[in-house]
Amino acid sequence: MRPDVMAWCADQYPFSLALAVCTLLGSIPYLVSSVSRVWHSPITRCLIILQIPLALSVVFAVVPSLADSLYLEYLKMIAVLLLIPLLIRSEADLRRLLLVVCFSLGMVGASFGLFGLIHGGVILTSGYGGMMSDNNLVALPLAMLAPLCWYVRDSVRSSIVRLALLVILLLSIATIVMTNSRGGTLALIIAVLLILLRSQRKLAAVLIFALGSGVAIYLVRDEYLTRMATLQHYENEESAASRIEHAKVAMRIWEDYPLFGVGFGGKNYAALASTYMEEENIHVAHNSYLQMLVDSGVLAFTIYIGLLIGTFIWLGRSARTAQRMHLKGHDIPLAIQASLVAFLVGGTFYSSQRYDLPYILLLCAAAWHKISGVAMELSEEEAEGAVSSNRTPHYLSVMNEVQ
C-alpha cells in the first residue's frame, strides 16, 4: 500500500528500511532454526539461482553504474520476500497473507475507483507511486488482485469482510477500466475466463465482473472504446506501434549481447536503443520477457520463464490434487494461479520484471508447496492407518458419499 505515498512523503524517510529491519529481527528465531526450509521448494531454488545470471548482468553491464543501484533494490526486495516460505507455515497463515494483499492493494484500487465514479467517470493518466507509478502499472496489479479477492472472499466467514472484498473487487475493476490500459484489460479478461472455466457459480461471477466493468465503461465509453479498438489495428496507433518497434530493437540488441545482456534494470537498454533506433529514446522494452532477455541474457531469461510457467502449471496440478484429496485450502492454488495468469498476459505489454507482486505470488506458491506436501503426507498416513485398522479415512468416506 506504500503508506508513505498516501501520506505525501514518499522516499523522504526510510520507512521501508525500518519495516524490513523490524521484520528481519522478528524472524531471527525462524532464521536460526529452519532457514533450510527456504531451499526445500523448487520455486525458491529457481528464484535464488536466478540471482546468479542477474548479478553477472550487472558485473558485465555496458554501463554498470546504470544497473547496480536497481539490482541492489531488487535484491533487497527478494531477500525480504524469501521470508514468506520461511514464516508462512500453515493454510491459515497463507490465507491471512493473501487477505493482507487484498486489503492493502485493494485500498489503492478502491480509492481510485471511488474517485472516478464520484466524478462521473475519469481517465486516469497517472499512477499511485512507487512501483505503481503510471496508469498501466496501476491496472496490471489490480488485474492480478481481482482473482485473489474472488477466491479469498469465498473462504471468509465474516460477512463484513466478505462485503469489503466484494466492494474492493468491484471498484478495482472500475479502476482498471478508467486507466484506459489495454494490457490491464486483457490481463483481467484472461483471469476472469480462467475463473469462469472452473467456477460452479458462473452466473454470479459473470454478474459481478460485468457490474464492476459495465458501470465504468458506460461512464467513459467514448475514450475507452476508442482505446480498445486500437487492438484490432495496432500498427496505426502510436503507442502500440512503439511497442512493436521496441520488441524488434530488443531482439537486435540481445543478439549483440546474448549471454549476460546489456545490464539489469532497463536503463542500459534505454540508452543503447537510441543507437539502434537512430533516434532519441527514453523508454524500456515494454515487455517483461524481452526486457529480462535483453537486460540479463539468455540464462536469466530461461530461468525466469521456467519459474513463471512451471509455477503456473504446478499450481493447476496441485489444485486438482488438493480437491481430490479434500485438503483444506484447495482454493489457494486456484487464487494464486489465476492471479499469476493475469501477470503472464499483462507482462507482455509492460516491463514489470522488477515488480514485487509477481514475486509475492511465486513465494506464496512456494509456501503452499510445503504446506500441501505436509497435508498430503498426513492424509496418506491416515489412509494407511485406516486400512490397517479396517476403518475408512475421512476424505475417502466423503468421496464415497459423493459417488
Residue 1 lies inside a defined structural domain of this protein: no
Within a domain: 44: yes
Instruction: Give 140-181 pLDDT, tens digit per residue.
Output: 999 999 999 999 998 888 999 999 999 999 999 999 999 988
Indicate whether 49 and 60 sit together in one domain.
Answer: yes
Same domain, residue pair 101 and 82: no
The Cα–Cα gap between 378 and 90 comes to 14
Determine the 3-state secondary structure of 75 from DSSP: helix
Cα–Cα dist 188/82, whole Å: 27
> 216 and 164 in one domain?
yes
Q: Is the residue at 63 inside a domain?
A: yes
372 and 265 within one domain: yes
**Based on the domain organization, do 276 and 341 belong to the same domain?**
yes
Tens digit of each residue's pLDDT (9 = 90 or more) over 173-192: 999 999 988 889 999 999 99
pLDDT in tens, 100-126: 999 999 999 999 999 999 999 888 888
Cell representation of residue 213: 466493468
SS3 of the chain: helix, strand, coil, percent, to 5:
75, 0, 20
The Cα–Cα gap between 163 and 187 comes to 24
Is residue 399 a part of any domain in this protein?
Answer: no
User: Number of folded domains in the chain?
Assistant: 2
Say if residue 211 is in the same domain as residue 253. no
Contact (Cβ atoms closer than 8 angstroms) between residue 323 and residue 334? no
Q: What is the pLDDT of residues 354-382, one digit of tens each?
A: 999 999 999 999 999 989 887 777 665 56
- Does one domain contain both 18 and 140? no
CA distance 300 to 258: 11
Q: Which of 176, 204, 229 is the last residue of a domain?
A: 229
Position 397 scores a pLDDT of 44
201 in the same domain as 94: yes
29 found inside a domain: yes
* Assigned domain for 401 exists: no
Answer yes or no: do 66 and 100 share one domain: no
Q: Is residue 80 part of a domain?
A: yes
Residues 65 and 120 in one domain: no
Q: How confident is the model at residue 279 (pLDDT cuts 50, 70, 90)?
A: confident
Residue 106: closest CA among 137, 151, 138: 138
Is 276 a member of any domain? Answer: yes
**pLDDT score of 389:** 56
Tell me the Ramachandran region of residue 75: left when phi exceeds 0, alpha when psi lies from -120 to 50, beta otherwise: alpha
Q: Which of 206, 229, 252 is the last residue of a domain?
A: 229
Look up the domain containing 142 and give its range: 90-229
Chosen domain end from 229, 257, 280 = 229
Grade residue 339 by pLDDT with cuts at 50, 70 and 90.
very high
